[in-house]
Structure 1
Amino acid sequence: MSEAASSPAAARCPFPHGAAAAAASACPVSAGAAAFDPFSDGYQQDPPDYVRWAREQEPVFYSPQLGYWVVTRYDDIKAIFRDNLTFSPSIALEKITPTGPEANAVLASYGYAMNRTLVNEDEPAHMPRRRVLMEPFTPEHLKHHEPMVRRLAREYVDRFIDDGRADLVDQLLWEVPLTVALHFLGVPEEDMAMLRRYSIAHTVNTWGRPKPEEQVEVAHAVGHFWQFAGKVLDRMREHPDGPGWMQYGIRQQKLHPDVVTDSYLHSMMMAGIVAAHETTANASANAIKLLLQHPRAWRELCDDPGLIPNAVEECLRHNGSIAAWRRLATKDVQIGGIDIPAGSKLLIVTSSANHDERHFADADLFDIRRDNASDQLTFGYGAHQCMGKNLARMEMQIFLEELTRRLPHLRLAAQDFTYVPNTSFRGPEHLWVEWDPARNPERTNRALLDARAPVRIGEPSAHALSRPVLVERIDAEAEGIVRLRLVAPDGAALPRWAPGAHVDIECGDGGLSRQYSLCGDPADTRAFEIAVLREPHSRGGSAWIHDALRPGARLKLRGPRNHFRLDETCRRALFIAGGIGITPVSAMARRARELGIDYELHYSGRSRASMALVDALRALHGERLHLYVSDEGARNDFAALRVDERTRVYACGPARMLDALQAQSGAWPDDALRVEHFAASAGTLDPAHEHAFEVELKDSGLVLNVAADQTVLDALRRANIDVQSDCEEGLCGSCEVRVLGGDVDHRDVVLTRAERDANTRMMTCCSRAKGKRLVLEL
């Protein structure tokens, strides 16, 4: 600690550093904390790995070199984002390295007076301004920019498509986001090279550590940038009806002059160019670099562009463009059990949070099908979450679509990656790639230039997480039932699954998707097995599988996902199946047997010939299996079932059977019955029988109106709030959110009776408010 103690930053250390203190070993700063340097090459190259030791051993520590408390774990950082009163964003744009008097004099000579912006202002000023200026960032408005982004991406790729080698940063990923940013803001396209230099200078000025001799040069560039922003803003005022976010802000100023002020507009003009441009350019470069370092993932995107939206989220999680943000503690507070005094500065390493094993399983693994990739904190969270996140997502998706379609044989060239040293924004300064122009597919297939993958504006749907499988076998299992064995095309292991899980199969080319429970052995990672009943009134799924599918066919599926889990700590279990409902129940009974749980399996069917898996079940479960065959006059008497406090009942089957069980369960202990439905009960909203209500988003500081003909999920999307979804029928559980207040009118088939009574969770795709208001943890 002696070297750190002698530095100027060490004077800010909140721990004693005198001779007596050193003798008593009073300073608790560890060796790792003392050595922490976010300007080092280790941090620049891989921030999550650089602070791995902290994430695992000392998740909150004080850095004497930086004069900041450093926070590294997901839950702690999300809690900081959630509470923007205790943790003020006011220092987010503060110079992390104070400039000297000469540089300050240069800035003053340009009239530099950068004010608060949406990034770094406190309440009560921030949220009214955010509400007034948010509309251009909503998905319905952003979609109008998609043709322009596509056109630019194609034009820039056209320039180097036949060269065989390119620096994607210089030749695509810097200029296109800059042009998009200018269009979005309403800035004329001119002086692009100058704007690029200004943007880098602004980054170094705010988040970097320029040497004393560099500070004056940087200050001149920042000053020029400030004056340029003011001149452009003056021209915009002459034509306030033009397109662009800044013109929108000028029009809003007339309506809300106390909220949208002159000084604010000037600051946002400058900050907006950096925010809308540089972070997207860096994120795109990081994503392409990461994907080319994982050739299998790149090939999968080339084969299936539908994976691109979730791949973007995983790239933002694994190697995003924002390494860290900063906050100021406004009062004494605890973070992760560590006492933080009022006035402390915090460096919250969001890139480390995105690699926290406590939230992301196998967090260092790059998995473009990761089902919670969009939990990444690269965009922040809560009231100060990045407003431009969906514009960045759109651009990244279009870049990946263009490159995977036109240059599927792209590869990284040998190179050393360098980064502009700073604490927060990161992306390679250059990204050299190579390919063989003779293999460009458009040379023989010009039609692919007209192909378009749908852009997902907003958080990716679970629909995007499909994976290819081959039909290895199709066997007749029972009357009207076939059993399919599905394997990975390359023979690789498939994801592990737990009993009760299901997969979604894409049936045919019409976009039809149907859910089927897994019924094989969860220990068999080489294959998924499903059993499919031909429904007499099939909506197309089961009929297609029975009539059109053949061994060797290639399918797309999503999952596995599970909202029908076995409680492996229960002491006794009753498994009740009707017809094809035996599929998830069979896997659950197998697991109960392995765990030594006391269990019974009750299986009902119309006839023995129509009942699947009977021989295998009898061999595995013996006397624990009870069959009820209607044709033979046997029916299950639910009233005779013995259900006590230690018993869990798991049921899947026809609606009539489940309704009878629900009626009987009124006499059972709360939460004893868990059911899996074949179909959702939520239908199309009928505005004549619904009422409008409000939804307060506690973490975001917003209050939304949900109309009588609108779902909560729709209202959230329109407000630019990320919530994942899939079936949108109340069946899959993807869109679940936490409820903090208000009574929920539950319409899903996912939650148990006890979970509904607790009123702490809801499915936003179908459930509504009983009263006039709900409060959600979003």
Structure 2
Amino acid sequence: MTIENSTQAQPTRGGCPVRHSEGACPASALAAAFDPFEGPYQVDPAEALRWSRDQLPVFYSPKLGYWIVSRYDDIKSVFRDNVLYSPRNALEKITPATPEAMKVLASYGYAMNRTLVNEDEPAHMERRRVLLDHFLPENLEAKQEMVRRLTREKIDGFIDRGRVDLVEEMLYEVPLTIALHFLGVPEDEIERMRSFAVAHAVNTWGRPTPEQQVEVAHAVGRFWQYAGEVIEKMRADPDGEGWMHYTIRKNAEIPEIVTDSYVHSMMMAIIVAAHETTSLASTNMFKTLLTHRDAWEDVCADPSLIPNAVEECLRYAGSMVAWRRETTAAAQLGGVELPAGAKLLIVQASGNQDERHFEDGDRFDIYRDNAVEHLTFGYGSHQCLGKNIGRLEMRIFLEEMSRRLPHLRLAEQEFTYLPNTSFRGPNNLWVEWDPEHNPERANPALRRGSVHFPVGAPLRKEIARKVRVSAVRQEAGGVLGLTLEDVRGRPLPRWSAGAHGELCLGEYERKYSLCGRPDAPGYDVAILLEEQGRGGSRHIHEVVRPGTELKLRGPNNLFRLDESARSYVLIAGGIGITPILAMADRLKMLGRDYVIHYAGRSRASMAFLARLESDHGGRVRIYSKQEGERADLPAIVDSLAEGAQIYACGPARMIRALEDLCAELPGNTLHFEHFSAQGSGLDPEKESAFEVELMDSGLTVAVAADTTLLEAIRAVGIDLASDCCEGLCGSCEVSVLEGEIDHRDLVLTRAERAENRRMMACCSRAKSGGRIKLAL
């Protein structure tokens, strides 16, 4: 979008606030009609913004006066830069207060100031570092027993009734009790706290009428006074336990960092934040799982699925729908120029279903192995401090309910929500069951059963769906083709060209590109028998038969096809044809210009020749080494049309040759994927320890010689995705801001390594024990 005077807002009545060149404004009827307080957004925020993700990922909403951000990558980039995108407006009233409401608030001495949520640097990180310890995973483990005890007491109270409102009976009060205990606040005013929380949400993120504003202002004023009273009681108990007692002691020790006004404001803000988000997220979780009955039954049968089921619920139907930021200077986001002072509504609910990041993103799938990458907790230095408390509670709620009431079902009801931009969860959740079928009536020991879940994000290695081999065929000499189907006959998730799945059979876990047609009911993979491999391919060739059951992780796509190029050159060496075939199928469907170059030892060893020649005809060039044919890579690269892109998969020597040939071409010309890993394990005797500054999180972490960077980052509570842990897939990529990197991956191009702006946390390290800085 081209903008004149892009650093200055130019308000226009009912339209975009920026003066554009003729025809350059990214506005549309859908943008003008967008209203977050009613209609589709209140029903399903992610679905309501599907059009935006596809057409206009950053747009101005004249009804709201905010720029709406809907795609995953754009949202994450906003969270990453809290200087350019200030959080200062995060708790600002989204509906301006009336003079009458302001007068009411003033009568209570209301003086809400900055908190961890809405303060700028450097004050934010100075305070956050001081107050972080209580939230670290190792310090939360002791809370599990209390959460389970409170949960059991509530279930004991209603398990024989057959019908309850879960919000009223458990999902509001238990998170609030836990929050107050964690903070060290008296637990004797649950109902009063409920009214305060609703008033605070409506006051900050809602659109109350002028009359409602006055009523809400009285409740918010009373909340403010209550918070002050609690602080004074706490000051009288200097040895009290809990995070707020700790904060008050820090206020006495370092008042210049933890100020008096900060203590009062934080008390009011965190009482709401520490329980309301978990209560709503837990309600959404049960509604989602009971709506998707297959997922509920899988969790009941296998509690090990619970940690990832919780993450997928947070991704698919999290309680934090959107957050806010304000630009401190002119910025470009999603290809759109934003003026200084632009107010942004960054809709995490939309980003969480963006299929550019999540394969089949609008599908609920508890086996999704990158669900933990959701943005519900935010990202970076402002990521939710209490995320692991929320995870802990939700896991225990789900484990206790699914074990004791597996026959639970949703009752017939109409769901209602508190209208606002940012928090979402039903006001009530009625469920029912037949008490006569309660499993513990026949087996009383079930009441005391439990599964311990370590605090923190789930590990990807624990997430896999059960599949069955429905067909086995010989695709070529030494190449075994398998078709996989869900063991229960359910549809498998959709996937995009370049995607892969990871097969788990016994001790062997190997990744294979999906190479069937995307509309097929099952997944097709092709497995080369590698004589010099680690035994996985041989085991599959020898053991797998039709009917064999195994586990599958994914699908994931780390070799994604850019569908905006002018033309495409697809190059495959040997078994590297598998992702290339899927890309060719996709490009044919789109009607794009492409050519395929496929090289192998012999035609007999080259898989899918017949399908290539049948489906892609004159676009295929075959090179058989046995027949004296070689792909002339220099000539292929020399003949590239302007704007063309190369996608290549094959042996390392082929990729290195293409890197050399494309070294002077535009950076997005060559895209590649290796199909084998090199040794990437640590040898502590040969490694050097180093330090890393996580600039987005404001932390400094020591990485020992026997520890990977990935392991060290996770140990301080930072969620970082990973997959192969061999430097092959690229899922643990982080951005480098400073320092020299010893690159050990097979993901980055030579030019990207020389730029030194990215690294893979699973295997790469700082050179010679130096200090590095990462955007994390």
Q: Are 1:115 and 1:263, in contact at CA under 8 Å, matched by a contact in 2? A: yes
Aligned to 2:756: 759
Within-5 A mapping of 1:272-283: 272-283=270-281
Higher mean C-alpha displacement, 95-104 vs 419-428: 95-104
- Is 1:602 the equivalent of 2:601? yes
Could you tell me whether the CA contact under 8 Å between 1:314 and 1:370 is conserved in 2? yes
Counterpart of 2:509?
Answer: 514
> Could you tell me which amino acid in structure 1 is paired with residue 181 of structure 2?
H
Deviation at 1:614, TM superposition (A): 5.3
Distance 1:469 1:37, change over 3 A: closer
Aligned pair partner of 1:438 in 417, 436, 439: 436
Residues 16, 731 of structure 1: CA spacing in aligned structure 2 closer, same or farther, 3 A cutoff? closer
The secondary structure found in structure 2 opposite 1:97 is: coil
Cα distance in 2 for residues equivalent to 1:65 and 1:621: 52
2:427 to 421, 426, 429: 429
Q: What does residue range 457-472 of structure 1 map to in structure 2 within 5 Å?
A: 457-472=455-470
Q: Is the 8 A contact 2:580 2:649 kept in 1?
A: no
- Between the aligned partners of 2:745 and 2:453, the Cα distance in structure 1 is 28
Secondary structure at the counterpart of residue 601 of structure 2? strand
- Mapped to 1, the partners of 2:502 and 2:151 lie a distance apart of 33
Rounded to whole Å, the distance in 2 between the matches of 1:775 and 1:729 is 22
Asked whether the equivalents of residues 501 and 552 of structure 2 are also in contact (C-alpha less than 8 Å), the reply is yes
Partner Cα distance (1:697, 1:644) in 2:
42
Moved more, 595-604 or 348-357: 595-604
- Which residue of structure 1 aligns with residue 590 of structure 2? none
Residue 219 of structure 2 corresponds to: 221
1:712 equivalent to 2:709? Answer yes
How many aligned residue pairs are there? 725
* Pairing partner for 2:254 from 253, 256, 259: 256
Residues 218-265 of structure 1 deviation map (CA, whole Å, 9 limit, x = unaligned): 334333322332333333334444432223323433543311122212
Counterparts of 1:106-255 in structure 2 under 5 Å? 106-255=104-253
Q: Secondary structure at the match of 2:510?
A: strand
Question: Per the alignment, in what secondary structure is the counterpart of residue 776 of structure 1?
Answer: strand
CA contact (8 A) 1:488 1:527 kept: no
Equivalent in 313, 323, 332 of residue 311 of structure 2: 313
CA distance in 2, matches of 1:733, 1:85: 28
Aligned-pair CA distance for 1:131? 1.5
RMSD of the TM alignment (CA)?
Answer: 4.4
Cα distance, 1:516 vs. partner?
5.2
CA distance in 2 between counterparts of 1:673 and 1:692 reads 32
The TM-score, its normalising length taken from structure 2, stands at 0.80
SS in 2 for 1:423: coil
Corresponding residue number in structure 2 for 1:487: 485
2:222 and 2:562 map into 1 onto residues whose CA distance is 64
Q: Measured at CA, do residues 471 and 112 of structure 1 come closer, stay the same or move farther in structure 2, by a change above 3 Å?
A: same
TM-fit CA distance, 1:159? 2.0
Which whole-Å deviations, capped at 9, do the CAs of 1:143-180 have from their partners, x for residues lacking one?
Answer: 33223222322322222222221111111111111112
- Structure 2: where are the runs of 5+ without partners? 1-8, 16-21, 586-593, 614-621, 638-646, 664-669
**Aligned in 2, Cα 1:93/1:619: closer, same or farther, shift over 3 Å?**
closer
Q: 1:563 to 1:32 in 2, by over 3 A?
A: closer
**Inter-CA distance 517–46: structure 2 relative to 1 (3 Å threshold):** closer
C-alpha distance in 1, partners of 2:683/2:87? 41
Partner of 2:767: 770
**After the TM superposition, which of the residue ranges 614-623 and 158-167 deviates more from structure 2?**
614-623
Residue in 1 that maps onto 2:552: 557
Structure 2: which amino acid aligns with 1:146? Q
CA contact (8 A) 1:564 1:675 kept: no
- Partner-residue secondary structure (3-state), 2:377: coil
Q: What letter matches 1:734 in structure 2?
A: S
Once the two structures are overlaid, the 10-residue window that deviates more, 128-137 or 587-596, is: 587-596
Give 1:76 deviation, angstroms: 4.0
Identical columns (%): 53
Corresponding letter in the other structure for 2:744: R
**Bigger mean CA offset, 297-306 vs 275-284:** 297-306
Q: Is the 8 A contact 2:360 2:495 kept in 1?
A: no
Tell me, what secondary structure is at the counterpart of 1:422? Answer: coil
1:646 paired residue among 611, 621, 636:
636
Cα 1:542–1:276 shift into 2, 3 Å: farther
Partner residue in 2 for 1:504? 502
1:286 is displaced (CA, Å) by 1.7
1:429 deviates by 0.6
Give distance in 2, aligned partners of 1:744 and 1:542.
36
Give secondary structure in 1 for the equivalent of 2:736.
strand
Name the CA shift for 1:619/1:195 in 2 (closer, same or farther; >3 Å).
closer
Structure of larger gyration radius: 1
Equivalent residue, structure 1, for 2:263: 265
SS at match of 1:646: helix
* Structure 1 residue identity aligned to 2:675: E
Given that residues 577 and 598 in structure 2 are in contact (C-alpha distance below 8 angstroms), is that contact kept between their aligned partners in structure 1?
Answer: no
User: 1:526 — aligned with what?
Assistant: 522
Residues 14-29 of structure 1: pairs in structure 2 closer than 5 A: 14-15=11-12
CA distance in 2, matches of 1:498, 1:317: 20
Q: Distance in 1 between matches of 2:327 and 2:477?
A: 68
1:717-758: CA deviations, max 9, x gaps? 233322112343434433222334332212334445555444
Separation in structure 2 between the aligned mates of residue 265 and residue 776 of structure 1, nearest angstrom: 31
Q: Deviations over 1:261-298 (max 9, x none)?
A: 22212221121110010011111112221222222333
Partner of 2:732: 735
Q: Partners of 2:673 and 2:380 in 1: how far apart?
A: 34
Amino acid at match of 1:418: T
- Aligned-pair CA distance for 1:515: 1.4
Decide whether aligned partners of structure 1 residues 664 and 48 sit closer, same or farther in structure 2, where only a CA change above 3 A counts: closer
TM-score using structure 1 length = 0.80
Return closer, same or farther for 1:174/1:489 CA change in 2, 3 Å cut-off: same
CA contact 2:369–2:553 (8 Å) conserved in 1? no
Q: Which piece of structure 1 moves more, 157-166 or 241-250?
A: 241-250
Map of 2:666 onto structure 1? none
Question: Which structure 1 residue ranges, 5 or more long, are not aligned?
Answer: 1-11, 19-24, 577-583, 605-612, 629-636, 653-657
Distance 1:235 1:446, change over 3 A: same
State the alpha-carbon separation in 1 of the partners of residues 561 and 717 from structure 2. 36
Deviations 1:396-427 (A, max 9, x none): 22222233333232222111111122222221
